[in-house]
Structure 1
Amino acid sequence: MPVSRVPRRALTGAAAALGVLALAAAGIGGGAALAASSSQAAPAAAATHRVLFDNTKAETAGNADWIISTSQPDPLGQDSTPNAETDWTGALSSWGVALQKAGGYSLNTLPSGRTITYGNSSNAQDLSNFDTFVLPEPNVKLSAAEKTAVMKFVQNGGGLFLISDHNNSDRNNDGCDSPCVINDLLTNNGVDNTDPFGFSVDLLDISTDNPRAISDSSNPVLHGPFGNVTGSILRDGTTFTLKPGDNANVKGLLYKAGASGNTGAFFATSTFGSGRVAIWGDSSPVDDGTGQSGNTLYDGWNDPAGTDAALALNATAWLAGNGTTTPPTTPPTTPPGGGTCTAAQLLANPGFESGASSWSASSGVITTSSSEAAHSGSYKAWLDGYGTATTDTLSQSVAIPAGCAARLTFWLHIDTAETGSTAYDTLKAQVLNSSGSVLSTLATYSNVNAASGYQQRGFDLSAYAGQTVTVKFTGTEGSKLQTSFVIDDTALSVS
């Protein structure tokens, strides 16, 4: 029988029905480029994807203004409900406002003068608190500790978005421009100095080009929730050399005119450990043309020669997870869906009606408490909800047969006493391997996603066919107002 909790979570009933907002049109400002790229508006995101933009590496030196807002770390301090890119100040404000309007994204900036860290609990902008880290044309080398932090972040499941610029684009005149900074990260990081992502930045200055996207109808960056990508713009930028022999997952998605294969890639993606990486060869495509006074900027975001808004936003969604899974560290021996599979539901005690049987859970998580209703039956898993600093976990290991398509589903109710749009309390849904390493963070929910009633969530786990994995939920609550994450009627179905 579960342990009765004390004193139980002063609930607020209808507290903070802050459900995910329906997505507004992704084109911000003029928005013509994105509107032309797809008539389909992006759907509201199901989870809160936490994105951190860097501003510690001279991102505003010279004419650069690569910030989403002058309000840092929280852009909502400038305008909590932005509708146009000028509601936030910065040449990347269109990017930030589009994500904010989409719903399901929590945005922060690491301010100038701060340090990039990973695993530092005293730093609210520590990379462990985010799903995606954006380095927009960095002009100062990362320290040895910062490079290790970035690499560990990606290795453990984070998404890294790198934006380079052309050779000799040293905006702060310290002797190292963005190609120098990024290549240094790739070759001298202390974690893996042997071309870990499978690409390097070419030392070129290409004055103008309109790179085109490859044909790949299933690629989530080229054809994602924010529209279809047909091309981009290159206005004094560079390209990348791909090295699939170093990392077989590296893939060029857009190429300069006349280029293909391993040379001339203008936008590329890769993976490292459990994480994902994207890199773009020019800052012009994400520049929205407006920012702080005194800067000479260029509106590439809305340039009709490219579909840059869709590319930036789809890539951000892909890096953050957005309901998809990260490929496992060790590929399955049998391709998912490639063999005979007997349809079945694999989780034991999926509705918790046998108490804690077959589940590993923090004390009192699996409960019949009447303070929160079950989705069905009497039992459910209730993580957090105390209004004090609490970490609750719930997990079960399961063997997914080779040759099967697999899908994880569960019903989730989030109740909170928090207000506003800041994610104070979070629930992570993750897949771990047999050694306990995170293969994928499927989603991160927070108090911002609170809503009345249960909502079903679902994720494709077919990539893990042939492996024994652990499905794990981790609820982390701050020290003040309560947030309850209530899970019921789980299933891991194979077919």
Structure 2
Amino acid sequence: MLGTHRHLRGLVGGVAVVAAVAAGAAAHASAAPAPAANGAAAPAATTQKVLFDDTKAETAGNADWIISTSIPDPTKQNASPSKETDWTGALSAWGVALQKTGDYTLDTLGSGNTITYGTGGALDLKNFNTFVLDEPNNQLSAAEKTAVMQFVQNGGGLFLISDHKGSDRDNDGWDSPQVIQDLMSNNGVDNNDPFGVSDDDLDISSGTPTAINDSSDPVLNGSFGKVTSSEIDSGTTWTLHPSDNANAKGLLYTSGSSGNTGVFFATSTYGSGRVAFWGDSSPVDDGTGESGNTLYNGWNTDSNAALALNATAWLGGGSSGGGTGGTTAGSTTGTTSGTTSGTTSGTTSGTTGGTGGCTSGQLLTNPGFESGTSGWTATSGIINTATKEPAHTGSYKAWLDGYGKATTDTASQSVSIPSGCTTANASFWLHVDTAETSTSTAYDTLKVQVLNSSGTVLGTLATFSNLSHNTGYAQHTYSLAAYAGQTVTLKFTGVEDAQDQTSFVVDDTAVNVS
């Protein structure tokens, strides 16, 4: 018989992170474009908000990586721009193209400001769908890196554009490859390669990277056009690490490259958000800007414009800033406050459909834990009915950690992903509360991973922490399509440090295929 969960050192009602992200930007009428049936991004139903950064020396030296000299609001320079020279900046063509659709509002975080998340400021990341860091030349502070990671974790879109090794515009000892890699590997939220992508820190003088053949990818085949190639003019590449994040994907590769290396443009997900990586700033440079800067007109070369614009649309399609809409790859979230009545038990019966013999349906046994440990391998006692942490639905849930001492709890289940199915998604509802008071350090973590039959980690779908605390439950969904034809184990691992409890409460899991 399952016993009552452990005594807590004091539950602290956290901020409803995901719900607050949605509510915080609802006032800005933000929403994201739902993918069309062919996988291309459909026109946005309401306005997406995009914030371009100019706090990290993006205009130092001969650089000019801004959409307008009117900061923060480019429309103060020209309210109805029709051509790139209506706004002044090397990125003005990008900004004007978005502005002309009527589906976007744009701002710039100007020099002297700080990147923040959840502070209530008008230019706080919580108010935006997408944040663009184009060739940042100064290291982000610890608090800024935490802000960016929380923004993505809670549904934001992050556009990281690097440049070549040694492109230190202001001679402070930091160039954009170093700045970006530092953000990804030393952020205090998840330092274990959260995006599954690393910057190669190279100086490649020229090339024409080409796109993979994937007609369903919304970045390569979006509403702004089809992407076939880009260009590299003194830039770098990226390396993918799918064992760290299974959703890391290369879209364009340098000549002779494929697989995990030589990636010029990549996408990934983290938490509920999305990330895009570009290896050179020249492709988004339109050749116009302030006098005296060294500019290069790459915007109208190859498919650069379509790539930048499609990626912006895709990045805004997560759950940040009130954005809604479908997810072609990666994750989606939903929220409920408090507890929902009802029960979830057994396995949903599937119906035959699709191609290749795929039987559509839900594959996990006892997905809502209502039959106790049936189907699950779990730390003793964590699947329970303790009322201090109510279930999302029904009575049972998996309550990992919450002891206030050094502990590791796990819950896992093996599942076979049919090879004939085109869609496979793992989902679950998660509630996190904590007694930790830090707003920047992840002391306690929950990893959601995919393992093979030998117990080797094939990929980390997400990492949550005490910084992810929320008052209700939030739903998270991640693609398992990469494991089609394999029998894998879906595993939740909660790790708590020696003091101040963090509870990770999981319920209503599913692996749906079609």
Query: Shared topology, TM-score over 0.5?
Result: yes
Name which of 212, 216, 223 aligns with 2:210.
212
Per the alignment, residue 326 of structure 2 pairs with 324
- Contact kept, 8 Å, 2:196 with 2:244, in 1: the verdict is yes
Per the alignment, residue 101 of structure 2 pairs with 102
Per the alignment, residue 305 of structure 2 pairs with 309
Once the 2 structures are TM-superposed, how far is the Cα of residue 437 of structure 1 from its aligned partner?
A: 2.6
1:100 & 1:156 partners in 2: Cα distance? 26
Per the alignment, residue 170 of structure 1 pairs with 168
Name which of 127, 130, 134 aligns with 2:128.
130
Structure 1 runs not aligned, ≥5 long: 1-17, 21-40, 343-395, 406-432, 441-466, 470-494
Residue type matched to 2:107 in 1?
N
Residue type matched to 1:113 in 2?
G
- Contact kept, 8 Å, 2:268 with 2:330, in 1: the verdict is no
Output the TM-score relative to the length of structure 2: 0.58
Residue type matched to 1:82 in 2?
P
Once the 2 structures are TM-superposed, how far is the Cα of residue 103 of structure 1 from its aligned partner?
A: 1.6
Q: How does 1:446-457 map to 2 (within 5 A)?
A: none
1:146 & 1:212 partners in 2: Cα distance? 34
Once the 2 structures are TM-superposed, how far is the Cα of residue 187 of structure 1 from its aligned partner?
A: 1.0
Q: 1:294 to 1:341 in 2, by over 3 A?
A: same
- Contact kept, 8 Å, 2:41 with 2:218, in 1: the verdict is no
- Contact kept, 8 Å, 1:51 with 1:133, in 2: the verdict is yes
Q: How does 1:9-28 map to 2 (within 5 A)?
A: none
Per the alignment, residue 55 of structure 2 pairs with 56
Once the 2 structures are TM-superposed, how far is the Cα of residue 328 of structure 1 from its aligned partner?
A: 4.0
- Contact kept, 8 Å, 2:64 with 2:293, in 1: the verdict is yes
2:236 & 2:330 partners in 1: Cα distance? 29
The reply on whether 1:229 has 2:231 as its aligned counterpart is no
1:323 & 1:292 partners in 2: Cα distance? 38
Per the alignment, residue 113 of structure 1 pairs with 112
Name which of 273, 276, 279 aligns with 1:275.
273
SS at match of 1:246: coil
After superposition, the C-alpha distances for 1:342-389 in whole angstroms (9 at most, x for unaligned) are 9xxxxxxxxxxxxxxxxxxxxxxxxxxxxxxxxxxxxxxxxxxxxxxx
- Contact kept, 8 Å, 1:82 with 1:88, in 2: the verdict is yes
- Contact kept, 8 Å, 1:434 with 1:468, in 2: the verdict is no
SS at match of 1:207: coil
Per the alignment, residue 464 of structure 2 pairs with none
SS at match of 1:270: strand
Q: How does 1:70-469 map to 2 (within 5 A)?
A: 70-121=69-120, 123-303=121-301, 306-321=302-317, 323-325=325-327, 327-328=330-331, 338-340=358-360, 436-437=473-474, 439=476
Q: How many residues align?
A: 323
Residue type matched to 2:195 in 1?
F
- Contact kept, 8 Å, 1:339 with 1:404, in 2: the verdict is no
2:41 & 2:330 partners in 1: Cα distance? 24
- Contact kept, 8 Å, 1:42 with 1:102, in 2: the verdict is no
> CA RMSD, aligned part only?
3.5
Q: 1:78 to 1:43 in 2, by over 3 A?
A: farther
Q: 1:340 to 1:183 in 2, by over 3 A?
A: closer
Once the 2 structures are TM-superposed, how far is the Cα of residue 323 of structure 1 from its aligned partner?
A: 3.4
After superposition, the C-alpha distances for 1:56-94 in whole angstroms (9 at most, x for unaligned) are 000001111000011111111111100001000000000
Once the 2 structures are TM-superposed, how far is the Cα of residue 186 of structure 1 from its aligned partner?
A: 1.0
1:264 & 1:434 partners in 2: Cα distance? 43
Structure 2 runs not aligned, ≥5 long: 1-28, 32-39, 318-323, 334-346, 363-391, 395-416, 424-469, 478-506
Once the 2 structures are TM-superposed, how far is the Cα of residue 324 of structure 1 from its aligned partner?
A: 2.4
1:104 & 1:111 partners in 2: Cα distance? 23
- Contact kept, 8 Å, 1:157 with 1:438, in 2: the verdict is no
SS at match of 1:148: helix
After superposition, the C-alpha distances for 1:387-425 in whole angstroms (9 at most, x for unaligned) are xxxxxxxxx999xxx9999xxxxxxxxxxxxxxxxxxxx
- Contact kept, 8 Å, 2:214 with 2:220, in 1: the verdict is yes
Once the 2 structures are TM-superposed, how far is the Cα of residue 468 of structure 1 from its aligned partner?
A: 5.3
Once the 2 structures are TM-superposed, how far is the Cα of residue 434 of structure 1 from its aligned partner?
A: 11
- Contact kept, 8 Å, 2:95 with 2:106, in 1: the verdict is yes
After superposition, the C-alpha distances for 1:251-284 in whole angstroms (9 at most, x for unaligned) are 0000001111111000000000000000100000
After superposition, the C-alpha distances for 1:261-317 in whole angstroms (9 at most, x for unaligned) are 1110000000000000001000000000000111110000012xx200000000000
After superposition, the C-alpha distances for 1:194-229 in whole angstroms (9 at most, x for unaligned) are 011011111210000000000001000000010000
Per the alignment, residue 461 of structure 1 pairs with none
1:149 & 1:111 partners in 2: Cα distance? 17
2:312 & 2:90 partners in 1: Cα distance? 17
Task: Give percent identity, aligned residues only.
Answer: 66
Q: 1:138 to 1:438 in 2, by over 3 A?
A: farther
Once the 2 structures are TM-superposed, how far is the Cα of residue 438 of structure 1 from its aligned partner?
A: 5.8
Residue type matched to 2:68 in 1?
S
Per the alignment, residue 449 of structure 1 pairs with none
Once the 2 structures are TM-superposed, how far is the Cα of residue 327 of structure 1 from its aligned partner?
A: 3.6
Q: 1:328 to 1:319 in 2, by over 3 A?
A: closer
SS at match of 2:313: helix
Output the TM-score relative to the length of structure 1: 0.60
2:90 & 2:274 partners in 1: Cα distance? 25
SS at match of 1:279: strand
- Contact kept, 8 Å, 1:271 with 1:277, in 2: the verdict is yes
- Contact kept, 8 Å, 1:91 with 1:291, in 2: the verdict is yes
- Contact kept, 8 Å, 1:210 with 1:231, in 2: the verdict is yes
SS at match of 2:150: helix
SS at match of 1:185: helix
Once the 2 structures are TM-superposed, how far is the Cα of residue 45 of structure 1 from its aligned partner?
A: 2.2
1:315 & 1:329 partners in 2: Cα distance? 17
1:111 & 1:224 partners in 2: Cα distance? 30
Per the alignment, residue 25 of structure 1 pairs with none
Q: 1:404 to 1:185 in 2, by over 3 A?
A: closer
SS at match of 2:312: helix
Runs of 4+ displaced beyond 6 Å: 332-337, 402-405
Q: 1:57 to 1:329 in 2, by over 3 A?
A: same
- Contact kept, 8 Å, 2:247 with 2:330, in 1: the verdict is no
